Amino acid sequence: FTMSSATSTASLPSGLDVLTTFPDVLFIPEIVFGGLVWILVASSKVPLPIVQGWVMFVSVFCFVMSTALLCLYVCGAHGGSSSWVALVSGCDEP
């Protein structure tokens, strides 16, 4: 694996090259654990359903955004623009 950083954004990976940089490989466990959280929240029983609905919304939203960002990176939709680094950083910060 090679390290990519926000300071060296000369070329952002696209296609299957996304899976060769360490920060971008972290999309995979993020999607896996996001799916597990989604499943666990959906199967839990809580006394206030409105609370479960909010937690379910947040977990599904984060899961869908992570999956969409990975697909956009693989498709090369970023076009080499460095603003995509800021987008991914913003989505990963809670």
Q: What is the pLDDT along the chain (94 residues), one digit of tens a residue?
A: 444 444 444 566 667 777 777 777 777 888 888 888 888 888 888 787 777 888 888 888 888 887 887 788 778 777 766 676 666 666 655 5
Please tell me the predicted confidence (pLDDT) of residue 6: 47
Q: Which helix (H) or strand (E) holds 36?
A: helix 27-43
- With beta carbons less than 8 A apart as the criterion, state whether 27 and 66 touch: yes
- pTM for this model (two decimals): 0.63
Please tell me the predicted confidence (pLDDT) of residue 43: 86
Q: Distances in Å between the alpha carbon of 15 and those of 52, 73, 77, 83?
A: 37, 7, 10, 18
Give one DSSP letter per residue of 9-23, joined into a string: -SS---GGGGGGBHH
Q: Report the distance separating Cα 23 and Cα 14, nearest Å.
A: 13
Please tell me the predicted confidence (pLDDT) of residue 5: 47
How is the chain split into domains, by residue range? 20-79
